[in-house]
Amino acid sequence: MFKFFFIYFYILLSLQSFSFAENKKLENEIYKNLRCLVCQGQSVADSNSDFAQTLKLVVKDKIKEGKSKKEIYDFLTKKYGEWIVYKPKFNRYNFLLWFLPYLTIVFGGIVIFILLKKRKNQRTN
């Protein structure tokens, strides 16, 4: 059994030495994370609207200027508000959004643990 563990971790480690890179284009990734504000629930990547076309041009320019993903998102949120990005920031208002799902998984784990423990007690009784 230990031999298998050994082999497994060996493979896993050898994998780590390669670069884990996303082979995605930065601009496409950014387009997908921007809401087309004049459309009904479409991303800029999916929209043919005038607004989306202009936004695509601006994003391309910013990438050429060497701006990072974060800088581009910050620039656009400054202009259009948080509504434009599909990934809400982690801040005072949004911390519950990011936090509650994990809370449920912890809570669920505790419930299951208690149920199993109860069972043990019943057996000893």
Partner 1 sequence: MKINLLRILVFVFAVFTLSIFLLSLNKVKVYDTQNLVGKNISSFELKSLDNEATINEESLKKNKYTLINFWASWCFPCRAEHKYLIKIKKNSKNLKILGINFKDKEKDAKKFLKEFQNPYYFLAKDYDGKTSINFGIYGIPESILIDENLMIIKKFIGPINNEDFNVIMKLTE
Partner 2 sequence: MLSNTGIILIILTLFLSFLIIYISVVNIKEKNNIIDKKIYHYTFYQVIFSILSFLTLLAGFINSDFSLINVFENSHSDKPLFYKIAGTWGSHEGSLLLWINIIVVFSFLFLIYNKKSNKIFRLYTLIFQNFLILGFLIFLLFNSNPFSKIYPIPLEGLGLNPILQDPALVIHPPLLYVGFVGSSIYFSAAMASLVSNYKGKEFALSIKPWILISWCFQTLGIIAGSIWAYYELGWGGFWFWDPVENVSLMPWFAITALMHSVIVLEKRNSIYSWVVILCLSTFILSVTGTFLVRSGILNSVHTFANDPSRGIYILLLLAIMIFASLIIFFKNNKRETYNFQIQSKETFILINNWFMFFFLISVLIGTLYPIFLEALTQTKISVGPPFYSIVIFPFIVLFLIVMAIGPKISWIKGGYKKINFAIIILALSTFLNFLIFKIFGSYSILSNLIIISSIFLIIHSVYDLFGIVKKNVQFDLSRIISHLGFGLLIFFIGINHNYSIEEDFNLKVGEIKNFHKYQMNFKSLEKNDRKNYQAIVGNFILIDKKKNLKEFLKPEIRVYSSPETLTYEASIKTKIYSDKYLTMSNITRSDYYNIKFQEKPFMIWIWISAIMISIGGFIRLFKKGELK
Q: CB 33 → partner 2: shortest distance, Å?
A: 6
94 binds, among partner 2, partner 1, none (CB under 5 to 8 A by kind): partner 2
Indicate the residue among 65 and 119 with the shorter CB distance to partner 2: 119
Q: Are 69 and 62 in contact (CB under 8 A)?
A: no
Q: Does 70 bind partner 2 (CB under 8 A)?
A: no
Residues within window 63-82 making contact with partner 1, judged by CB under 8 A = 76, 79-81
Q: Choose among 86, 70, 88, 71: nearest CA to 37.
A: 86
| Residue appearing with tokens 């480690």 | 13
- Give the x-and-dash track for 13-52 against partner 2 (CB under 8 A): --x--xxxxxx-x--x--xxx-x----xxxx-xx-x-x--
| Residue 101 φ then ψ, to 5° | -60, -40
Question: Residue 59 CB: number of other CB atoms within 10 A?
Answer: 21
| Residue appearing with tokens 């950014």 | 30
Question: Which positions touch partner 1 (CB under 8 A)?
Answer: 37-38, 50-51, 53-55, 57-58, 61, 76, 79-81, 83
